[in-house]
Amino acid sequence: MSQHGVMCSTIRQATTAVENRESARQQWAKELALWRVALAWGFVFDVDDPFTSPRIPASPSFHAHS
């Protein structure tokens, strides 16, 4: 992908991997895959909660007054 000027990045908390009994506790297969993505194609981002977006409060001017 980098040959085409495109970066492939991922979010650590939104990534899964096939683990076996020896690697499951430390998630070694996942960590290895994330390392390879970061090394070859882009970045690995850490976020606290990848499935929530910042909330924009409603402006008071949009509220109806009764």
Percent of the chain with pLDDT over 90: 15
Instruction: Name the DSSP class of 29.
Output: H
Strand partners, 44: 10
Indicate whether this model's pTM tops 0.75.
Answer: no
Q: Give 37: exposed, middle or buried? Use CB within 10 Å, 0-12, 13-18, 19+.
A: middle
pLDDT at 59: 54
> What is the pLDDT confidence band of residue 16, given thresholds at 50, 70 and 90?
confident
Largest Cα–Cα distance of the chain, in whole Å?
A: 64
Task: Tokens for 59, please give them.
Answer: 């402006």
